[in-house]
A and B are shown apart, each in its own frame.
Chain A
Amino acid sequence: MAKVLMKGNEAVGAAAIKAGCKLFFGYPITPSSEIPEYISRALPEAGGVFLQAESEIAAINMVYGAGGAGARVMTASSSPGISLKQEGITYCAGAEIPCVIVNMMRGGPGLGSIQPGQADYFQATRGGGNGDYRTLCYAPASIQELVDYVMLAFDKADYYRNPVLICADGMIGQIMEAVELKDPEPMELPPKDWATTGTGGKRKPVVVNSLYLQAEELQEHNKHLIEKYKLMEENEVVYEAFGLEDAEVVCVAFGTTSRIVKTAIKQAQAKGIKVGMIRPITLWPFPYDVFKEIGDKAKGILTVEMSAGQMIDDVKIGIAGRLPVYFNGTQGGMVPTPGSILADIEKIAGGAK
């Protein structure tokens, strides 16, 4: 299929429909409103259902119901709306309901701003809801990656019976880029024999549930979930990395920020500084192991985020105290400039303290 020019938010809708998403429940919020707008036009044409919910809370619980009934289902929002969905996300994780949740992140806390942000990293990777659970979380840096990972997210959700997050930022949602909606690689998926579809008189009733009143039973369920999360950690880490072996400075960034970092890296290289990069594409599971590939010439790590410093905790876990970790951050919806990143790279390369 030829490339088409698409806005990020609309591309999310197109990718979801191509991946077989049959139901979408959402509530408008800037900067992700074009997702429900696009889907309200396109999903009914594709034989699916779009329903505007009365709240983000209702939307995620509709996702719970439809996902629990075995359907491919998605919701999308931006930061404050994703906060409202946390209750439903932990229930989906507990009841093992596959679903896809898109967060076009904006500045926070609270109502924050409508400009792009990355400050929902903790919420996405540490679980914003209660209890021990994990959600696979993709952080695309281009519209092409956005559509590729939205499509993959549906398969991964079904494969693991788990919610999958797409954590992009408002910039990715709002910009237009050329994109190709490729046919996804077919994946062998387990049958949804756990879904509530009515017994039809042919089988025993099934229950979709996250309640286990006996502590022993809940611990068994927790252990089962932990095993599943371990499999994700072993098999689902995705990242881009380059120049680690002989780097003087290694930059770590994801999403929109990673694109600005790449510009700064080119500028640094033009000045003769060797800069490597790690770009996590899965925020959880985080690519800790790739930090071992950083060579002995490195003087420090520079983490760049549109937050007050959240991924930096994972970077510190990854580097395990071997190198100093520096931070370049913008908040409130501000986007970092290549110049400020270049200045930090030069300082670290020059032996910054």
Chain B
Amino acid sequence: MTIVYEKSKGLTDVPFHYCPGCTHGVIHKLVAESLVELGVLDDAIGVAPVGCSVLAYKYFNCDMQEAAHGRAPAVATGIKRALPDKVVFTYQGDGDLASIGTAEVVHAAHRGEKITTIFVNNAIYGMTGGQMAPTTLVGQKTTTSPFGRDEAHCGKPIRISEMIATIDGAKFVERVTVDTPANIRKAKKAIKRAFECQLKGQGFALVEVLSSCPTNWGLTPLKALEWLRDNMIPYYPLGNFKDFGEGK
């Protein structure tokens, strides 16, 4: 019998708790496969956030630490400085990274911290039940922007990849999404490259993954991906913002 597909060894057997149609599962798979394919799973130490992916420490089949809300890049800094030969990554959502944890991610990038950050942007606070995120689009209705995000009241959504790319210490920054098989392949390539950035000792690497939240957007999984394409991608353009050059 030929095995044509199997679950990555980078994931444990614990069933995901994610809602139907949520793309966290796909992104977890890409991170896990990247660690395995680069041969670094046994040297990897991951840092889980607070938010929908708070339980990521149960899913990645490597040593994990659970950080306080937004502090994952600081925790990862502590790990990497203690164990510079290990592969350290954070997995964070938009509330965690783009709101409460902006100082930590900006300064980790600024120091050129040799860690890899996977930033999942679904434009909403999912875990707490659909509140406005710093990445919520103008006009987007959430439980704390019931009439739609008002730019005059709370500004425009924050573009993290563009901001991080301006920092010298950040050596790899790319925004991807996982709405189609083709885009999933591109996302995987970017995630692998972000780990290579760390393995080559280049500096900080961030991959922003545009993700859907059917539950809190109030859409079916397919409609949610359509909404992502029609609304998120125009504001959050896909593509590479920075690459460390070698072997590009």
Q: Which A residues have a C-beta under 8 Å from some C-beta of B?
A: 22-23, 25, 49, 51, 53-55, 57-59, 61-71, 73, 87-88, 91, 95, 196-202, 205-211, 213
Complex interface: chain A residues within 8 A of B82 (CB): 22-23, 49, 65-66, 69-71, 73
Question: In the bound complex, do residue A62 and residue B66 qualify as a contact, i.e. CB atoms below 8 Å apart?
Answer: no
Q: What separation, in Å, do the CA atoms of A211 and B41 have in the docked complex?
A: 24
Is the C-beta of B78 less than 8 angstroms from some C-beta in chain A? yes
Complex interface: chain A residues within 8 A of B111 (CB): 51
The listed residue (A71, A91, A198, A211) touching B63 by CB distance below 8 A is A198
Q: What separation, in Å, do the CA atoms of A23 and B58 have in the docked complex?
A: 28
Is the C-beta of B65 less than 8 angstroms from some C-beta in chain A? yes
Question: In the bound complex, do residue B66 and residue A207 qualify as a contact, i.e. CB atoms below 8 Å apart?
Answer: yes
The listed residue (B41, B43, B60, B63) touching A206 by CB distance below 8 A is B63
Question: In the bound complex, do residue A54 and residue B107 qualify as a contact, i.e. CB atoms below 8 Å apart?
Answer: yes
Q: What separation, in Å, do the CA atoms of A197 and B64 have in the docked complex?
A: 9
The interface on chain B, measured as residues whose beta carbon lies within 8 A of the other chain's beta carbons, has a size of: 39
Is the C-beta of B79 less than 8 angstroms from some C-beta in chain A? yes
22 A-B pairs with CB atoms under 8 Å apart are: A22-B82, A53-B107, A57-B71, A61-B68, A61-B74, A65-B65, A65-B77, A68-B75, A68-B79, A69-B82, A69-B83, A87-B68, A88-B71, A91-B67, A197-B86, A199-B42, A200-B43, A201-B42, A205-B60, A207-B58, A207-B66, A208-B64
Q: What separation, in Å, do the CA atoms of A71 and B57 have in the docked complex?
A: 21
Question: In the bound complex, do residue A23 and residue B57 qualify as a contact, i.e. CB atoms below 8 Å apart?
Answer: no
Is the C-beta of B202 less than 8 angstroms from some C-beta in chain A? no
Q: What separation, in Å, do the CA atoms of A49 and B78 have in the docked complex?
A: 10
The listed residue (B45, B67, B86, B103) touching A64 by CB distance below 8 A is B67
The listed residue (A57, A95, A201) touching B66 by CB distance below 8 A is A95
Question: In the bound complex, do residue A66 and residue B81 qualify as a contact, i.e. CB atoms below 8 Å apart?
Answer: yes
- A67-B78, A209-B64, A210-B66 are known; give 9 further A-B pairs, CB within 8 A: A49-B81, A55-B103, A58-B104, A61-B67, A69-B86, A95-B65, A95-B66, A205-B62, A205-B64
Binary contact track B222-244/A, C-beta < 8 Å → 1, others 0: 00000000000000000000000
Q: What separation, in Å, do the CA atoms of A87 and B68 have in the docked complex?
A: 8
Question: In the bound complex, do residue A62 and residue B67 qualify as a contact, i.e. CB atoms below 8 Å apart?
Answer: no
Question: In the bound complex, do residue A209 and residue B45 qualify as a contact, i.e. CB atoms below 8 Å apart?
Answer: no
Complex interface: chain B residues within 8 A of A63 (CB): 78
Complex interface: chain B residues within 8 A of A91 (CB): 67-68
The listed residue (A25, A51, A64, A200) touching B65 by CB distance below 8 A is A64
Q: What separation, in Å, do the CA atoms of A197 and B62 have in the docked complex?
A: 10
Complex interface: chain A residues within 8 A of B86 (CB): 69, 197-198
Question: In the bound complex, do residue A196 and residue B42 qualify as a contact, i.e. CB atoms below 8 Å apart?
Answer: no
Closest chain A residue to B65, Cβ basis: A208
Closest chain A residue to B64, Cβ basis: A207
